[in-house]
Amino acid sequence: MSMDLTSNISILGFLFGYLAGSIPFGLLLAKIFGLGDIRETGSGNIGATNVLRTGNKGVAAATLLADMAKGAVPVMVASKYGPETAMLAGLGAFLGHLFPIWLKFRGGKGVATYIGVLIGLYWPFALFFCTIWLVVTLIFKISSLSALIAAASLPLIAATSGQKTLVFVIMVMSLLVFIKHKDNIKRLMRGDEAKIGSEG
């Protein structure tokens, strides 16, 4: 396979991932099931945690699974063209969720899609992420804190793989998770961050 063809496939993989990641499932599912515009509820985020604040656990679970799938599926499809293309597709899906073209680049915070990308790239890392998230959640019941600790831990865990490109992709995603959670970090520091299931 020529260098030009490989580059074109990698670019297409990234674009495919970005368009898939840009699908705002939380917003769409909330409207379909009569929950209104989720951007006007709670934190205004389009992710599963904010959907849960409507009280509809089913739609929140569906949002979680859909946001994970839009991270995993592009990676799995692109993996047919090599690991580099798969990683670019995963990064594209993650960026698509954070900055969707359909919503003027105002998207979610990326946690579920991050997990989906990890499932597609190397599922044990997804298991590590979810385990860390679950343990912190059971202790503190604060979704943002759980996500931040899991995101901070993953690059360290990934470093043990020795796969430099994969570690780089994970580091970028973790950094963006922190950037997108900047308001949550401020509330955590003040001690008034909303807990899972609360209205705030």
pLDDT of 197 reads 55
Predicted TM-score (pTM) of this structure: 0.94
Ranges of each domain in the chain? 3-190
Question: Residues 6 or more apart from 123 whose CB is under 8 A from it?
Answer: none
* CA dist., res. 109 & res. 164, Å (int): 25
Question: Residues 6 or more apart from 161 whose CB is under 8 A from it?
Answer: 122, 167
Neighbours of 58 (CB within 10 A): 10
Neighbours of 75 (CB within 10 A): 28
* CA dist., res. 166 & res. 136, Å (int): 25
Task: Render each residue's pLDDT in the chain as its tens digit; 200 residues.
Answer: 555 667 889 999 999 999 999 999 999 999 999 999 999 988 888 999 889 888 899 999 999 999 999 999 999 999 999 999 999 999 999 999 999 999 999 999 999 999 999 999 999 999 999 999 999 999 999 989 999 999 999 999 999 988 999 999 999 999 999 999 999 999 999 999 988 755 44
* 8 Å CB contact between 154 and 174: yes
Structure tokens at 8: 């074109």
